[in-house]
Structure 1
Amino acid sequence: MESKSKYFLEKNFIIYLIGKIASVGFSFASIPLFIKYFGIADFGRFSLLYTTFLMFLSGTTGWINQGVLRFHSMERDREAFSSEILFLTVKSAIFSNILLAGVFWYNNANLSTIILAVLAFFFACLFGVYTTELQARFKSRIVILSDILRLSCYFFIPLLIHFIKPDVLPEIAIFTGILVSFFVSFLMINDWKLPVLNRSLNRAPKWSRKIWEYGSPMSIWMFLAPTLNTSDRYLISFFLGSAVLGQYSALYDVIFKLFPQLTGPFYNIIHPMLISSHNKGDVQEFNKIMKRSSVYLMVMFIGLFLIIYLFKSFIINNYLGFSKEDTAKLEETVVPLLLGSFFWQISFLMQKRLEIANKTRFMALAMFISVSIGLLVSIYFVPKFGYLASAYSTLFSGLIYIGIITRFKFREWIQWVN
Structure 2
Amino acid sequence: MNTSILKKYKELPVEIKAAFWFLIGTFFQKAMSMVSTPIFTRIMSAEEYGEYNVFNSWFLIVSIIVTCQLSAGVYTQGIVKFDSEKREFSSCMQGLTLTLVLLWTIIYIFTMDFWNKLFDLSTFQVYSMLFLSWMTSAYNFWAIEQRVDLRYRKMLCMTAFVIIAQPALCIFLVIKSTDKVSARILGMVIVSCFAYSYCFWNQIKSGKKIFIKHYWKYALSLCIPLIPHYLSQIIMSTSDRIMIDRIIGSKEAGIYSLAYSISQIMTIFNTGLMQTIEPWLYKKIKKGELKKISAIAYKSMVGIALVNILLIIFAPEVVRIFAPEEYYEAIWIIPPVAMSVYVSFMYAFFAVFEFYYEKTKYISFATLVGAVINIVLNYLLIPVFGYYAAGYTTLFCYIIYVVMHYYFMSKICKENQIDEIPYDKNVLISISFVFFVISFVILFTYKHYLVRYSIMIVLMLAIFIMRKRIISIIRRIIRDFSR
Question: TM-score normalized by structure 1?
Answer: 0.86
Partners of 1:42 and 1:170 within 8 A in 2 = yes
Label 1:72 to 1:318 Cα distance change in 2 as closer, same or farther (>3 A): closer
Please state how far the C-alpha of 1:401 moved relative to its aligned partner: 0.7
Label 1:383 to 1:156 Cα distance change in 2 as closer, same or farther (>3 A): same
**2:374 paired with 1:369:** no
Please state how far the C-alpha of 1:141 moved relative to its aligned partner: 3.2
Q: Which residue of 1 aligns with 2:459?
A: none
Please state how far the C-alpha of 1:61 moved relative to its aligned partner: 4.6
Q: How many aligned residue pairs are there?
A: 401
Label 1:57 to 1:9 Cα distance change in 2 as closer, same or farther (>3 A): farther
Please state how far the C-alpha of 1:416 moved relative to its aligned partner: 10
**2:236 paired with 1:228:** yes
Bigger radius of gyration: 2
Output the amino acid matched with 2:311: I
Partners of 2:90 and 2:141 within 8 A in 1 = no
Partners of 1:47 and 1:249 within 8 A in 2 = yes
Question: TM-score normalized by structure 2?
Answer: 0.75
Alignment map for 1:141-152 (pairs within 5 Å)? 141-152=153-164
Q: Which residue of 1 aligns with 2:349?
A: 349
Q: Which residue of 1 aligns with 2:80?
A: 73
Alignment map for 1:277-288 (pairs within 5 Å)? 277-278=284-285, 281-284=286-289, 286-288=290-292
Q: Which residue of 1 aligns with 2:295?
A: 291
Partners of 2:62 and 2:129 within 8 A in 1 = no
Q: Which residue of 2 aligns with 1:50?
A: 56
CA RMSD of aligned residues (A): 3.0
**2:19 paired with 1:29:** no
The farther-off stretch of 93-102 and 351-360 is 93-102
**2:149 paired with 1:137:** yes
Partners of 1:73 and 1:309 in 2: how far apart? Answer: 38
Label 1:80 to 1:198 Cα distance change in 2 as closer, same or farther (>3 A): closer
Deviations 1:152-199 (A, max 9, x none): 333111111134x233x11211111211232222134357x6967998
Label 1:126 to 1:29 Cα distance change in 2 as closer, same or farther (>3 A): same
Aligned-residue identity in percent: 15
Partners of 1:21 and 1:79 in 2: how far apart? Answer: 28
Q: Which residue of 2 aligns with 1:88?
A: 96
Partners of 1:104 and 1:259 in 2: how far apart? Answer: 34
Q: Which residue of 2 aligns with 1:315?
A: 318
Please state how far the C-alpha of 1:138 moved relative to its aligned partner: 2.8
Please state how far the C-alpha of 1:227 moved relative to its aligned partner: 0.7
Partners of 2:116 and 2:123 within 8 A in 1 = no
Partners of 1:61 and 1:125 within 8 A in 2 = no
> What is the SS of the residue equivalent to 1:226?
helix
The farther-off stretch of 171-180 and 348-357 is 348-357
Could you tell me which of 15, 21, 27 is aligned with 2:21?
15
Output the amino acid matched with 2:367: M
Partners of 2:366 and 2:405 within 8 A in 1 = yes
Q: Which residue of 1 aligns with 2:467?
A: none
Partners of 2:36 and 2:167 within 8 A in 1 = yes
Q: Which residue of 1 aligns with 2:267?
A: 260
Partners of 1:233 and 1:245 within 8 A in 2 = yes
Deviations 1:248-292 (A, max 9, x none): 101101102x121112122211222222344xx4222x5424531
Partners of 2:64 and 2:302 in 1: how far apart? Answer: 26
Partners of 2:230 and 2:284 in 1: how far apart? Answer: 24
Partners of 1:336 and 1:395 within 8 A in 2 = yes
Partners of 1:15 and 1:140 within 8 A in 2 = yes
Label 1:200 to 1:342 Cα distance change in 2 as closer, same or farther (>3 A): closer
Alignment map for 1:117-132 (pairs within 5 Å)? 117-132=129-144
Partners of 1:23 and 1:198 in 2: how far apart? Answer: 28
Alignment map for 1:156-305 (pairs within 5 Å)? 156-163=168-175, 165-167=176-178, 169-189=179-199, 204-256=212-264, 258-278=265-285, 281-284=286-289, 286-305=290-309
The farther-off stretch of 74-83 and 230-239 is 74-83
Q: Which residue of 2 aligns with 1:396?
A: 396
Please state how far the C-alpha of 1:234 moved relative to its aligned partner: 1.9
Partners of 1:378 and 1:390 within 8 A in 2 = yes
Q: Which residue of 1 aligns with 2:473?
A: none
Please state how far the C-alpha of 1:104 moved relative to its aligned partner: 4.4
Deviations 1:125-150 (A, max 9, x none): 22222323333333333334323323
Output the amino acid matched with 1:31: T
Partners of 2:31 and 2:407 in 1: how far apart? Answer: 39
Gapped regions of structure 1 (runs ≥ 5): 1-5
Please state how far the C-alpha of 1:228 moved relative to its aligned partner: 2.5
> What is the SS of the residue equivalent to 2:325?
coil
Label 1:359 to 1:99 Cα distance change in 2 as closer, same or farther (>3 A): farther
Partners of 1:87 and 1:197 within 8 A in 2 = no
Deviations 1:215-241 (A, max 9, x none): 333333112201133221122112221
Partners of 1:150 and 1:184 within 8 A in 2 = no
Label 1:16 to 1:113 Cα distance change in 2 as closer, same or farther (>3 A): same
Please state how far the C-alpha of 1:94 moved relative to its aligned partner: 2.6
Gapped regions of structure 2 (runs ≥ 5): 1-11, 412-419, 429-483
Please state how far the C-alpha of 1:8 moved relative to its aligned partner: 4.9
Partners of 2:212 and 2:282 in 1: how far apart? Answer: 25
Partners of 1:124 and 1:182 within 8 A in 2 = yes
Label 1:55 to 1:154 Cα distance change in 2 as closer, same or farther (>3 A): farther
The farther-off stretch of 375-384 and 293-302 is 293-302
Partners of 1:273 and 1:220 in 2: how far apart? Answer: 26
Label 1:197 to 1:259 Cα distance change in 2 as closer, same or farther (>3 A): same
Label 1:152 to 1:210 Cα distance change in 2 as closer, same or farther (>3 A): same
